[in-house]
Amino acid sequence: MEVIIQPDADRAATLAARLIAARLRDKPDLVLGLATGRTMERVYARLAEMHEGGGLDFSRAQSFNLDEYIGLSARDERSYRHYMNRHLFARVNIDLAHTHLLDGTAPDLKAEAVRYEALIRTAGGIDLQLLGIGEAGHIGFNEPLSALMSRTRDKALTPTTLKQNAAMFGGDLEKVPKRALTMGVGTILDARELLVLVTGAAKAEILARAVEGPITAMVSASAIQLHPSCKVIADEDAAGRLRGRDYYDWIFRNEPEWAAFRD
């Protein structure tokens, strides 16, 4: 794992977007794993700008999102399908037929989870999985005690997550769906590369536990320590509780793979 710390949330998101763009240029038929949430809005804005500027082609890319609320249809503006269309898909030249999300209205949720896993396999697996970390320590909606080998399934959300996401539902906790479909921790770890973006002081404690704490199902984000190719990008506020800071900064300043991203 490598941890790269940037001065602010904007610079952190820009670096994440530049990394995604570099992977897409190297492999135009990249299979991208995508996340939603506030942290990612800036990343998608940067990617859209790069596309609009003529420098980024999504025409052969495919995408798989991590999760979707149960009970919200794609037409519901609070659904993650709607979020993705708004923030990214409508702004770049990706083929909508190549963008995949779990269907939160599927009549048989287990069958929907099996279908999604099969679809990822058929696509050849995910090349690059983008991840945020929730205040409950989740990646995707893998709430505490999610098995580290879990696969795509439905999951009950914790009160911490319901509170974190209430803003999208007019601040009304009662309106936040209580369950979601999510890729499992094991599904996420199958991706060939992980890119984790974490910003803001509210995430400082959980980021330190995920990156430097013990690997535990209580913090599903700590499973990223098991992945052989994982990059974490954080802003100063989120990095405030990390102990290995000096070494992380040294890596960014000195390792050749980061040379193109240092300015």
Binding residues for ligand F6R, rule: CB under 6 A, are 35-39, 66-67, 132, 134, 138-140
Candidates 65, 47, 13; CA nearest to 200 is 13
Show the DSSP H helices in the chain as ranges.
9-26, 38-52, 80-87, 109-122, 159-165, 185-189, 204-212, 236-239, 245-254
Q: How far is the CB of 166 from ligand F6R (least distance, A)?
A: 11
Q: How far is the CB of 245 from ligand F6R (least distance, A)?
A: 22
Closer to ligand F6R by Cβ: residue 140 or 184: 140
Closer to ligand F6R by Cβ: residue 73 or 254: 73
Q: How far is the CB of 55 from ligand F6R (least distance, A)?
A: 26
Q: How far is the CB of 70 from ligand F6R (least distance, A)?
A: 14
Closer to ligand F6R by Cβ: residue 42 or 51: 42
CB atoms under 10 Å from CB of 203, counted, come to: 25
**Tokens, residue 108:** 């048989």
Closer to ligand F6R by Cβ: residue 60 or 163: 163
- Alpha-carbon distance of 232 to 4, in angstroms, equals 6
C-alpha angle 199-200-206 in degrees, rounded to nearest 5:
80
Closer to ligand F6R by Cβ: residue 67 or 127: 67
Closer to ligand F6R by Cβ: residue 66 or 109: 66
Rounded alpha-carbon distances, angstroms, from residue 121 to 20, 55, 64? 21, 29, 11
Q: How far is the CB of 58 from ligand F6R (least distance, A)?
A: 19
- Alpha-carbon distance of 228 to 239, in angstroms, equals 22
For the sheet containing 179-182, what is the strand order?
67-69, 179-182, 153-156
Q: How far is the CB of 257 from ligand F6R (least distance, A)?
A: 25
Residue nearest to ligand F6R (CB): 132
